């Protein structure tokens, strides 16, 4: 047939495989069908469940207002896929274009989308992690098990790590009237994502709501009783916290282990890809048939100096999946870049926290509206004289405005006066981010490129 | 019936909580909590909420039911 291009053939009878059957995987699959992909579509997921939504797990579910088995994601349309659920992908052969599965099967593809996300970082001591009553929270099963334990009325809950998830868990515990201790290595909750100025506000929220917040300490060990039930935790300041539920909330690890040796540019920081979601191989050469999206991806962003951003944000997973799907079914100039402005929300202690841009890239913060004491304000982050991010506490309607400022690289501090500017908003403060070499946690942003100004690396080519 | 709210988009206007109070509720001044899988009897109210949301943040299932077990086993 004349004019039957490879692309048309792909759309008509090609084989597309998606590894990671969650938010990004599902939205990509829907988009591919919307764009007229009529070939075979295989969805591979290691969890036995169809795609479900995670944010409610640390909110509605822990509050007992929704159950973990009822957060399945709505479908925008039928995707007519072969579902391989409950079986992990274990390997990738890029030459033969084949995905290997744990049950020995192999699935061939013409185009592959990797959307394997992240998993909760486990408690480093395996024996202690295995104690009864020690939890992490990432999956539907985690959410169900933890909710059951909280409903049973533990004597005290210990949350290790006060990133977004840890803080939301502490908030849910207090709402259920459970005694809770939070241990955080940093100077305050959320400092990795939003800096110390905001961390101080967050610390006030914990304490006013009756959380026993311990900052600047590390949990050094967990202790069980004779039946293997966790009983207490030892802290680096020498204190002991007696708790029968311990939730390890130390951030996430990228699910890239299964790609070891595949030749793909995948590692602990995720899978590097170009702005069009095409994965890099280990030589930094872009592949044309392997795409990535969601939490596992790491992609350069024009607005942020082409630094590589890894985002653990719901909205990014959706937007990147749609772009990846579009590009998987397009050629050349029809492909589009993923230039999403990072954005996320959190809800804790009855306060709606939202952010846009990359606050952690900023070094100064200006409270442009409202006040920190009222926990109702807008904080704007500045980086080298421009607006780079913003955070709102119960002021979400202003976020669009600040997003525009970020997009237009508006000067920082913002020259205009706003409707609710208080005296504390007259002068930028040091945003007070911890030393970037200290790892932090929370659904946030990791910058993993080098700024040209940094001059951190010297590359000496081999002469042969 | 399944639904999800894009809370990046949601501006806490509470239209949904007004129209379908059994499914959507405000938590504090601005945070929205919702039941992601409400019973069918609430459909009419939920549909009204979907249309009333000024920022179109609520996504409601276009499909009924879940995967058939045959589908889940990969036999389709
Ligand atoms: C408790 C909690 C609360 C959150 N709250 C918020 C929030 O308030 N706001 C916000 O913006 N974001 C929030 N997030 C983050 C948001 O849920 C993620 O950004 C989103 O789920 C990313 O989607 P994804 O599809 O990229 O990855 P995931 O949802 O992680 O899905 C990846 C899937 O791939 C599977 N998989 C992994 N390896 C393999 C393999 N080898 N083979 C087959 N399958 C594999 C995984 O099991 C998983 O099912 C929250 C996350 C959690 C856990
Ligand atoms: S109507 Fe829309 S914007 Fe208002 S609270 Fe509900 S979802 Fe949010």
**Residues in A touching B2 (Cβ below 8 Å):** 72-75
What is the Cβ-side half-sphere exposure of residue B73, based on CA atoms within 13 angstroms? 4
Query: What is the predicted pLDDT for the residue at B68?
Result: 47
Q: Is A432 in the pocket of ligand 1 (CB under 6 A)?
A: no
Q: Say if residue A439's pLDDT is above 60.
A: no
Q: What token pair was written down for A458?
A: 């010297």
Query: What is the predicted pLDDT for the residue at A449?
Result: 55
A21: closest chain B residue by CA: B72
**Residues in A touching B12 (Cβ below 8 Å):** 352, 396-397
pLDDT category at A306 given cuts 50, 70, 90 is: confident
The conformation of residue A437, written as its DSSP 8-state character, comes to T
**Residues in A touching B30 (Cβ below 8 Å):** 351-352, 394, 396
Asked if residue A226 lies in contact with residue A113, where contact means CB atoms within 8 angstroms, the answer is no
Dihedral sign (CA A133, A165, A114, A280): negative
**Residues in B touching A72 (Cβ below 8 Å):** 2, 36-37, 66
pLDDT category at A454 given cuts 50, 70, 90 is: very low
Q: Say if residue B66's pLDDT is above 60.
A: no
Q: How many Å apart are CA A136 and CA A144, to the nearest integer?
A: 11
CB contact under 8 A, A74 and B62: yes
Q: What is the mean pLDDT of residues A391-416?
A: 92
Q: Say if residue A169's pLDDT is above 80.
A: yes
Q: What is the mean pLDDT of residues A312-325?
A: 97
Tens of pLDDT, residue by residue over A11-69, are 999 999 999 999 999 999 999 999 999 999 999 999 999 999 999 999 999 999 999 99
CB contact under 8 A, B31 and A347: yes
Query: What is the predicted pLDDT for the residue at A427?
Result: 87
Place of tokens 């077990």: B69
CB of A434 within 8 Å of a chain B CB? The answer is no
User: To the nearest whole number, what is the mean pLDDT of chain A?
Assistant: 92
User: To the nearest whole number, what is the mean pLDDT of chain B?
Assistant: 87
Q: Which of A161, A153, A206 is nearest to A349 (CA)?
A: A206
Q: How many Å apart are CA A368 and CA A361, to the nearest integer?
A: 18
Nearest to B8 among A66, A343, A351 (CB): A343
Q: Say if residue A370's pLDDT is above 50.
A: yes
CB of A66 within 8 Å of a chain B CB? The answer is yes
Angle (CA) A221-A168-A146 rounded to 5° is 65
Percent of chain A with pLDDT over 90: 85
Query: What is the predicted pLDDT for the residue at A343?
Result: 96
**Residues in A touching B28 (Cβ below 8 Å):** 347, 349-352, 394
**Residues in A touching B71 (Cβ below 8 Å):** 81-83
Query: What is the predicted pLDDT for the residue at A452?
Result: 46
CA nearest ligand 2 atom 8, residue:
B10
Instruction: Lowest mean pLDDT of A270-279, A289-298, A301-310, name the range.
Output: A301-310
Measured in angstroms, how far is the CA atom of residue A285 from the centroid of ligand 2?
44
pLDDT category at A464 given cuts 50, 70, 90 is: low
Q: Is A137 in the pocket of ligand 1 (CB under 6 A)?
A: yes
Asked if residue A422 lies in contact with residue A372, where contact means CB atoms within 8 angstroms, the answer is no
Task: List pocket residues of ligand 2, CB cut-off 6 Å.
Answer: B 5, 10-16, 24, 32, 53, 55, 57-58
3-state helix, strand, coil in chain B (%, to 5): 30, 20, 55
Place of tokens 């509470």: B14
- Which ligand does the CA of B17 lie closest to? 2
CB of A74 within 8 Å of a chain B CB? The answer is yes
Secondary structure of residue A197 in the 3-state scheme? helix
Asked if residue A206 lies in contact with residue A161, where contact means CB atoms within 8 angstroms, the answer is no
Instruction: Lowest mean pLDDT of A2-11, A258-267, A304-313, name the range.
Output: A2-11
Q: Say if residue B73's pLDDT is above 50.
A: no
Angstrom distances, CA of residue B2 to CA of A72, B38, B43: 7, 7, 10
CB contact under 8 A, B72 and A78: no
Instruction: Lowest mean pLDDT of A134-143, A217-226, A288-297, A299-308, name the range.
Output: A299-308
Which residues on neighbouring strands pair with residue A245, listed in sequence order? Answer: A157
Tens of pLDDT, residue by residue over A77-111, are 999 999 999 999 999 999 999 999 999 999 999 99
pLDDT category at A446 given cuts 50, 70, 90 is: low
CB contact under 8 A, A83 and B67: yes
Tens of pLDDT, residue by residue over A130-166, are 999 999 999 999 999 999 999 999 999 999 999 999 9
Q: Is A118 in the pocket of ligand 1 (CB under 6 A)?
A: yes
pLDDT category at B10 given cuts 50, 70, 90 is: very high
Question: Best of A23, A45, A54 to mutate for ligand 1, by most ligand atoms within 8 A of CB?
Answer: A54
Atom nearest to A293 CA in ligand 1: 26
3-state helix, strand, coil in chain A (%, to 5): 25, 30, 45
Query: What is the predicted pLDDT for the residue at A451?
Result: 47
Secondary structure of residue A231 in the 3-state scheme? strand
Query: What is the predicted pLDDT for the residue at A456?
Result: 46
Question: Best of B6, B55, B60 to mutate for ligand 2, by most ligand atoms within 8 A of CB?
Answer: B55
Distance of CA A413 to the CA centre of its chain: 29
Contacts of A332 (CB under 8 A, 6+ apart): none
pTM, rounded to two decimals: 0.94
């Amino acid at each position: 047939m004349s004019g039957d291009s490879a692309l048309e053939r792909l759309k008509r009878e090609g084989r597309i495989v998606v590894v990671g059957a969650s938010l990004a995987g599902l939205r990509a699959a829907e988009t591919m069908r919307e764009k007229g992909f009529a070939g075979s579509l295989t969805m591979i997921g290691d969890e036995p469940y169809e795609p479900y939504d995670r944010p409610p797990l640390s909110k509605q579910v822990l509050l007992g207002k929704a159950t973990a088995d009822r957060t399945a994601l709505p479908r925008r349309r039928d995707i007519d896929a072969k579902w391989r659920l409950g079986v992990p992908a274990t390997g990738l052969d890029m030459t033969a274009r084949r995905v290997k599965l744990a049950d020995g099967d192999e699935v061939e593809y013409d185009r592959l989308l990797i959307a394997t996300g992240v998993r909760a970082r486990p408690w480093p001591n395996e024996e202690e992690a295995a104690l009864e009553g020690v939890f992490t929270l990432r999956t539907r099963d985690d959410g169900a098990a933890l909710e059951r334990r909280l409903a049973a009325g533990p004597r005290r809950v210990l949350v290790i790590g006060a990133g977004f998830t840890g803080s939301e868990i502490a908030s849910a515990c207090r709402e259920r009237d459970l005694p809770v201790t939070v241990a955080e290595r940093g100077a305050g909750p959320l400092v990795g994502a939003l800096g110390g100025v905001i961390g101080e506000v967050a610390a006030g929220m914990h304490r006013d709501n009756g959380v026993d917040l311990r900052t600047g300490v590390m949990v050094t060990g967990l202790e069980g009783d004779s039946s293997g039930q966790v009983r207490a935790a030892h802290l680096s300041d020498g204190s002991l916290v007696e708790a029968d539920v311990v939730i390890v909330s130390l951030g996430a690890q990228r699910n890239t282990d299964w790609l070891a040796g595949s030749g793909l540019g995948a590692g602990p920081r995720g899978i590097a890809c170009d702005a069009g979601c095409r994965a890099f191989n280990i030589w930094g050469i872009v592949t044309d048939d392997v795409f990535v999206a969601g939490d596992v991806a790491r992609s350069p962003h024009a607005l942020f100096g082409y630094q590589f951003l890894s985002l653990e944000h719901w909205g990014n997973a959706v937007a990147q999946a749609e772009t990846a799907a579009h590009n998987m079914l397009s050629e050349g100039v029809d492909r589009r870049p993923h230039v999403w402005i990072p954005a996320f929300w959190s809800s804790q202690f009855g306060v709606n926290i939202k952010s846009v841009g990359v606050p952690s890239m900023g070094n100064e913060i200006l409270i442009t509206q409202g006040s920190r004491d009222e926990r109702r304000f807008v904080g704007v982050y500045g980086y080298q004289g421009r607006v780079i991010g913003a955070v709102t506490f119960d002021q979400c309607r202003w976020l669009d405005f600040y997003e525009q400022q970020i997009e237009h690289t508006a000067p920082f501090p913002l020259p205009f006066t706003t409707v609710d500017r208080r005296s504390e908003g007259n002068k930028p403060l040091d945003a007070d981010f911890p030393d970037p070499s200290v790892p932090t946690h929370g659904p946030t942003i990791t910058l993993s490129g080098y700024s040209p100004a940094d001059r951190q690396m010297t590359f000496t080519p081999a002469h042969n | 019936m399944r639904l999800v709210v894009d809370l990046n988009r949601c501006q806490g206007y509470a239209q949904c909580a007004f129209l379908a109070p059994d499914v959507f509720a405000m938590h504090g001044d601005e945070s929205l909590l919702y039941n992601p899988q409400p019973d069918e009897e609430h459909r009419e109210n939920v549909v009204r909420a979907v249309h009333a949301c000024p920022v179109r943040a609520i996504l409601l299932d276009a499909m009924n039911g879940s995967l058939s077990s045959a589908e889940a086993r990969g036999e389709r």
